[in-house]
Structure 1
Amino acid sequence: KRVLQRLVRNLGQATFPISEGSPQLSCSIGVVEVTADAPDVNWLMSAADSACYAAKQAGRNRVHCFNEDRLALDERRHEAERLQRVSRAMAENRMLLYAQRIAKVGDPGYLHYEVLVRMRDADGALHLPGQFMPAVERYGMAVALDRHVLGLLFRHLQVCPAHVRQLGLCNVNVSAQSIAEPSFLAFVCDLLERNRALAAKLCFEVTETAAISNLTQARAFIDAVKARGCRMALDDFGSGLSSFGYLRQLPADILKIDGAFVRDMDTDAVSRATVRAISELGRELQMEVVAEWVETAEVAQTLADMGVEGLQGYAIERPQPLERLTLANQRPVRLVGTQGPPG
């Protein structure tokens, strides 16, 4: 640690004269000890990255040593095992696409859904994203998973021309790591160029926090896919502290209200006011507004009365295998009173 602190000091004294002046260099360093408890190299790299992030959070230009306790180490080991299961599932074609319908208020025949991913384990058990996505994101595997999901989606839609003709819009999620990776944008653009008929049917979803934390890359991604005919949605809108200030810099087509506000709007006045404000803001900016986690017919009706155009949740329809949706006879969406956790 003393060696690294000396390195930080030396770097801070270095100068690089340029025409505009001499910028000062700073350095944040994360350190992890290699012991028998470390499950693998990926875990060690992740631990060092976590320590480096802690150094930045503590004020930058410092050294931070990874110091998680035994429980945290065990959890990291479990995450590494989950990551290995995801890798095997992709290699063995056990990542499955599900879809959840999004009802368009006033047009029940319009076919719009969000694609969701599930993992079938080697023993046949089905895992929801919450059971494997944290490990995927922590270990930097989100780009590989996003590429895999997009590949599955394109291959599926290519063999369902009748479904594509009926399809209004298909939403697919893109992670913050993918937004920040130039090679991923090149991959997406290549897919769209080779499947131009599908581009107008696709809407890429990026969470508001991911877009704001990678603003330049997010804007480049949005501009590139919209230029090829796709649409863009900002997911979980309202969860960030600077939502409204950044909105003008992100030319999205759809705002998806953070489901936490929708879920509580019938009992919490602040949530209700937030939903109303986002709905009004969307109309002013000529963006379509979609509400997630719509769990009751009563909430669905209240949202429709507020002018929210899209409704998604268990009160609309539960997630189902994409194959079932694409092969089934299409029918108008009817609101039902079924309650349950968000899909």
Structure 2
Amino acid sequence: KTTAYGTWYGLGGSEMCIRASLRSTGDPAGVATADEVIGQAASRLRQVLAPDQQASRFSDAIFTIMIPDVAGEALIKLTRRIRDVMETGFYKVGEQALLLRVNVGIAVAIDRSQDHLMLIQRADSACGMAREGKSDRIFVHENMLAVKRDQEASLRTRMLEQVQDIYDHERLWLVFQPIASMRGAAVERYEVLLRLRDNQGQEIVPGSVFGVVHNHQLGLKLDRWVIEHAIAMLRQRKAPITLFIKVLPVTLQDRTLSGWLRERLEQADVEAERIVFEVAEATAERSLRDMFGFLGGIKLLGCGFCLDRFGRGSDSVGLLKNLGADYVKLDMYFVNGLTKDASKQEALKELVENLEALGAATILGGVEDVKTLPILWSLGVDLIQGFFLQHPYREMSYDFSSAAF
């Protein structure tokens, strides 16, 4: 016994297409058997369609049907009728008796000017949803946006639950990546990076976590965990080290941060100037009111400030003038392809000169090879970071005394 599975795609008001595939539950069905079933399916299809609803075989196992002026409930009724006719009774090929199972996806055309190939792609997506539904096996594409929103909300909820579990069971740790001077200074600077592991022991991509918790109270908990453990690391180190710590937008809104931070620094006997907080330029632009409150608190304590991913905003230099920063970490755009792009080198040189005039030291991350170093040195970049120096490690082990560029 062999069962044939068919897949329907509907383009409401303009076009439909049907895709059929065979799957054997006994002896495999060959190409000849598949062609015979498709031929019989086409005959059944012609019996259902009106004279102005033209059908054609689009490819090996796909039919397209032009259906003008049919939408809404009328389209659903037609789809159900086609589905029932296609599924009722056996398809006989020789001694084999075949059954056809149909899943229906409908993409509604707003007007006749819409791209038919795009509509087919939408119907294809809808058919996948119909296949997963397993009840009526009909899905209308106009609901896809709502379904996508529901799926994203569900994914966000699951991620928050997972991160909360990680936080509760402390399956998180810090790694450090050096930031070295291009001018020969042996000052030790590291960026602090958070890493997380799920209950199966697998490391989670940090970006996927921060994208979910950036405005959630759980994000505030993670930021405070990082700050507290970074302070503990500074307390253990006798040599003067400066740590750069990224903070999420939710932390910028926290009016209790400066008081909490003061207590932690005093308890650990760590100087505030050994911590530099990093905020992305795009975040600062969107949260100016929060930024002024945040900066007022950390600067009063003596902490440093770094404007991260800088140089690609609508008015980057103007933002820097308003906020003030001890450091500016340039966007990765500036290092990508820099050695072969003279215009980018010129733009970077001008930007570095402007930053120097404003009293901000420049950091360029993403440095991965030695070829970039002479260019960065000649353009006046102060500090570099990247795999060329060292990958992020759990230990602060980089030898700054040997980093003479």
User: TM-score, normalized by length of structure 1?
Assistant: 0.70
- Alignment match, 2:14: none
Residues 173-218 of structure 1 show CA distances to partners (whole Å, capped at 9, x for unaligned) of: 1112211221334333433344453312111111112222222321
Residue 360 of structure 2 corresponds to residue 287 of structure 1? yes
In structure 2, what is the Cα distance between the partners aligned to 1:251 and 1:195? 28
Residue 383 of structure 2 corresponds to residue 310 of structure 1? yes
| CA displacement at 1:290 relative to structure 2 | 0.5
Q: Which SS does the other structure have where 1:119 is aligned? A: strand
Larger radius of gyration, structure 1 or 2? 2
AA partner of residue 199 (structure 2): A
Residue 335 of structure 2 corresponds to residue 258 of structure 1? no
Residues 273-295 of structure 1 show CA distances to partners (whole Å, capped at 9, x for unaligned) of: 33222211111112111101112
In structure 2, what is the Cα distance between the partners aligned to 1:78 and 1:126? 18
For residues 129-140 of structure 1, the aligned pairs below 5 Å read 129-137=206-214, 139=216
| CA displacement at 1:330 relative to structure 2 | 4.5
After alignment, is 184-193 or 122-131 more displaced? 184-193
- Alignment match, 1:86: 163
Q: Which SS does the other structure have where 1:233 is aligned? A: strand
When the two chains are superposed, the root-mean-square deviation of aligned CA atoms in Å is: 2.5
| 227 and 333 in structure 1: CA distance in 2 versus 1, 3 angstrom threshold | farther
- Alignment match, 2:349: 276
Out of 304, 309, 319, the position equivalent to 2:392 is 319
Residues 87-146 of structure 1 show CA distances to partners (whole Å, capped at 9, x for unaligned) of: 111111111111110111132632111000110111111223113111112645322221
| 300 and 210 in structure 1: CA distance in 2 versus 1, 3 angstrom threshold | same
AA partner of residue 339 (structure 2): D
Unaligned segments of structure 2, at least 5 residues: 1-142
- Alignment match, 1:112: 189
| 203 and 79 in structure 1: CA distance in 2 versus 1, 3 angstrom threshold | same
| CA displacement at 1:310 relative to structure 2 | 0.4
| 194 and 212 in structure 1: CA distance in 2 versus 1, 3 angstrom threshold | farther
In structure 2, what is the Cα distance between the partners aligned to 1:213 and 1:267? 34
In structure 1, what is the Cα distance between the partners aligned to 2:337 and 2:146? 36
Residues 29-70 of structure 1 show CA distances to partners (whole Å, capped at 9, x for unaligned) of: xxxxxxxxxxxxxxxxxxxxxxxxxxxxxxxxxxxxx99432
- Alignment match, 1:332: 401
After alignment, is 209-218 or 92-101 more displaced? 209-218
- Alignment match, 2:307: 234
2:363/2:383 contact within 8 Å kept: yes
After alignment, is 272-281 or 144-153 more displaced? 272-281
In structure 1, what is the Cα distance between the partners aligned to 2:398 and 2:352? 32
| 113 and 73 in structure 1: CA distance in 2 versus 1, 3 angstrom threshold | same
Residues 291-341 of structure 1 show CA distances to partners (whole Å, capped at 9, x for unaligned) of: 0111221112211111111001111211111xx22xx485535499xxxxx
After alignment, is 302-311 or 292-301 more displaced? 292-301
In structure 1, what is the Cα distance between the partners aligned to 2:305 and 2:374? 26
| CA displacement at 1:166 relative to structure 2 | 3.8
| 155 and 137 in structure 1: CA distance in 2 versus 1, 3 angstrom threshold | same
Q: How many residues align?
A: 263
1:109/1:331 contact within 8 Å kept: yes
1:255/1:290 contact within 8 Å kept: yes
- Alignment match, 1:7: none
Q: Which SS does the other structure have where 2:362 is aligned? A: strand
2:215/2:250 contact within 8 Å kept: no
- Alignment match, 1:202: 275
**Percent sequence identity over matched residues?**
25
2:194/2:206 contact within 8 Å kept: yes
Out of 208, 212, 229, the position equivalent to 1:152 is 229
Residues 247-288 of structure 1 show CA distances to partners (whole Å, capped at 9, x for unaligned) of: 211121001101122223234445433322221111111211
AA partner of residue 90 (structure 1): Y
Unaligned segments of structure 1, at least 5 residues: 1-65, 337-343
- Alignment match, 2:131: none
Out of 291, 298, 307, the position equivalent to 1:225 is 298
In structure 1, what is the Cα distance between the partners aligned to 2:151 and 2:276? 39
| 147 and 67 in structure 1: CA distance in 2 versus 1, 3 angstrom threshold | farther
Out of 237, 243, 254, the position equivalent to 1:161 is 237
2:277/2:306 contact within 8 Å kept: yes
1:260/1:293 contact within 8 Å kept: no
- Alignment match, 1:122: 199
- Alignment match, 1:298: 371
2:329/2:365 contact within 8 Å kept: yes
- Alignment match, 1:70: 147
User: TM-score, normalized by length of structure 2?
Assistant: 0.60
2:180/2:400 contact within 8 Å kept: no
AA partner of residue 315 (structure 1): F
1:265/1:271 contact within 8 Å kept: yes
In structure 1, what is the Cα distance between the partners aligned to 2:212 and 2:317? 31
